[in-house]
Structure 1
Amino acid sequence: MSLRRTILAGLAVLALAPLSAFSADLPDLGGKTVVVVTENAYPPLQFIDPKSGQAIGWEYDAMNEIAKRLNFKVEYQNTSWDAMIQAVSDNQYNIGMTGITIKDERKEKVDFSDPYMRSEQFMLVRGDESRFSDAKSFAAVDDALIAAQPGTSPFYTAVYEILDGKEDNPRIKLFETFGATVQALKAGDVDLVLTDSVAAKGYVDASNGGLKVVGGALGSEDFGFIFPKGSDLVQPVNAALAALKADGTIAALDKKWFLDYKMGE
Structure 2
Amino acid sequence: MTVALVTGATGFTGSHLVRRLLAASYTVHVVVRPASDLEPLASVRDQLVVHVHDGSTAHLTAILQAAAPAVVFHLAALVLTGHTPATLVPLLESNLVFATQLVEAMVSAGVSQLINTGSYWQHYEGQDYNPVNLYAATKQAFEAILQYYLEAAELKAITLVLFDSYGPADPRPKLFNLLAQAARTGEVLALTPGEQLLDLVHVEDVAEAFLCAHRHLRTLELHAHERYAVTSGRHLTLKEVVAIYERESGLRLLVRWGGRAYREREVMIPWSGGRALPGWQPQIRLEEGIGKLSEH
- Answer whether TM exceeds 0.5 for this pair: no
**What is the TM-score when the length of structure 1 is the normalising length?**
0.29
**What is the TM-score when the length of structure 2 is the normalising length?**
0.27
- Larger RCO (CA within 8 A; separation ≥ 6): 1
Task: Report the structure number with the largest CA radius of gyration.
Answer: 2
Is the helix fraction higher in 1 or 2? 2
